[in-house]
Amino acid sequence: MVEVNGGTFTMGATTEQGSDAYSDEKPAHNVTLSNYYISKYELTQEEWETVMGNNPSYDEGDNKPVEQVSWNDCQEFIKKLNLLTGLQFRLPTEAEWEYAARGGNRSQEYKYSGSNNIGDVAWFRYNSSSTTHQVGTK
């Protein structure tokens, strides 16, 4: 987990998003967040299997992100994780996720966290060869 320093940001379809913004991301609006923690990487299949005892992923690999899970599956995972650790994990809110994905208070006005070029920072449809990749490689 990494700490994200809170702050105020414009959530939704900002000018940096340009034509990548969807109509349901409008209107852009200011959101203020307190400090919070978020996982540095996507949850790995190994982590999921350790807690849940199974691996539902189609594209298997211990250090690849878990996939083929629903929101309800994630809630069950969190419930079990909290019981195992005695801590209180939860999914980030939409605002927390967007703030972190944009680089938080260090965004430097990038379109994405750390770059204006999505291929520099993320695996996606056009650079992934239609497969998942190990977490932390972008």
* pTM of model > 0.75: yes
Q: What tokens does 2 get?
A: 């990494």
Domains, the chain, ordered by start = 2-121 (3.90.1580.10)
The DSSP element (H or E) to which 50 belongs, if any, is helix 45-52
Question: Rounded CA gap, 17 and 24, in Å?
Answer: 13
- Running along the chain, 138 residues long, what does each successive block of 10 average in pLDDT? 92 75 82 95 97 97 97 98 97 93 76 84 93 95
Other Cβ atoms less than 10 A from the Cβ of 62: the count is 11
Count each helix (H run) and each strand (E run) in the chain, helices first: 4, 4
Q: What tokens does 1 get?
A: 């987990």
